[in-house]
Amino acid sequence: MLFMAPETSRVSDRLDLLTGIGGSSGSKGDLLKDNSVLSRPLDEGPNMIAQWLQKLANFELLFEQADTSLTPSKLAVVSLILGLAGCALGVALHAPPATVPLPGLLAGSLPIFWIIMRRNKRLKTFGAQLPDALEMIARALRAGQSLSFGFNAVAAEMPQPVGKEFGRAFDEQNLGVSLDDSLRSMCQRVPNLDLRFFVTAVVLQRQTGGDLSEILDKIGELIRDRFRILGQVQALTGEGRLSGVVLMALPLVLFVAVYQLNPKYVSMLWTDPMGKKMLAVAIFMQILGAVVIKKIVDIKV
């Protein structure tokens, strides 16, 4: 509790944002951009571990994009426990002393990899659901409803994550946040290029006028065409991606197999000075080959 932030400042920030009293528009924009005033409990504050991790990377935004209840402190504790368990496993298997930290590093990094995979899966799902959401908003506009009503319809009718994000934007508008600020906040939470097209179209339409429903239909059609082309690209590059997996896994599989058959033969790679140099060059070439193969098969649409 000694390392917790004072509760009074968070209460004051939220009241200032909702009532419009105190602070300039720039400070209120910073509070909204931080997304902490409206989305967190009043008694929650960053502790020492969270502040230290916040200097390394924006873990809070990563957790928000992954839609997980983890905090930087919980992540650090889980990673530490898994790292110690990995080191203990290496000691129990009588691994060489130089390789004991390796299973600890791998096990300790598993929570971060899990969060990144969860984030990527959620963003991919959001991109696939976005065309349907735009069409629903366009139908609501043709029926004579407002844009906010379209957001509410998406939040009520569509599944996660697109329903949650549009519902959050709708709730922010009900709390007095302007439409432009709520849309920019959603773009920060969801780094999707198609969503930026939608936000730009809405902002321009509010300034210059025009048929927003027709614009949303065209954006939805553009997104679907992009997904169709992306599927064709994935099919054409499937052989290259499979070749890359085989080429990356083959040296490791052969190393494990030869080590089980003749450990002394393989141990020269880390006992002999020339073997260490050969092993370092081989690892560097493996990483370079993986990067090159990824650049070849990763075609942006």
In 3D space, the residue among 74, 20, 21 whose CA is nearest the CA of residue 47 turns out to be 74
The whole-number pLDDT of residue 122 equals 92
To 5 degrees, how large is the angle CA 87–CA 93–CA 97? 60
In 3D space, the residue among 77, 82, 84 whose CA is nearest the CA of residue 107 turns out to be 82
The whole-number pLDDT of residue 2 equals 42
Cβ atoms < 10 Å from Cβ of 278? 13
The whole-number pLDDT of residue 167 equals 92
Alpha helix positions (H), 57-109: 59-66, 72-92, 101-108
In 3D space, the residue among 134, 127, 122 whose CA is nearest the CA of residue 192 turns out to be 127
The whole-number pLDDT of residue 70 equals 79
CB 90 within 8 A of CB 107: no
Q: Taken in order 37, 38, 43, 48, is the CA torsion positive or negative?
A: negative
CB 45 within 8 A of CB 10: yes
177 Cβ contact list (under 8 Å, min separation 6): 32, 185
Alpha helix positions (H), 144-211: 147-157, 162-174, 179-189, 193-208
Is the pTM for the entire model greater than 0.85? Answer: no
Helices (runs of H) and strands (runs of E) counted in the chain? 15, 0
Give per-10-residue mean pLDDT for the chain (301 aa): 48 55 49 48 50 58 83 85 89 77 88 91 91 92 89 91 92 88 88 88 84 88 88 84 86 87 85 88 90 83 66
Helix, strand, coil percentages for the chain (3-state, nearest 5): 80, 0, 20
For 107-150, give the DSSP string.
HHTHHHHHHHHHHHHHHHHHHHHHHHHHHHHHHHHHTT--HHHH
CB 127 within 8 A of CB 99: no
- Please tell me the distance from the alpha carbon of residue 227 to that of residue 35, in angstroms, as a whole number: 31
Q: Where are the domains of the chain?
A: 122-223, 237-301
Which two tokens mark 209? Answer: 């006028």
The whole-number pLDDT of residue 43 equals 47
The whole-number pLDDT of residue 48 equals 52
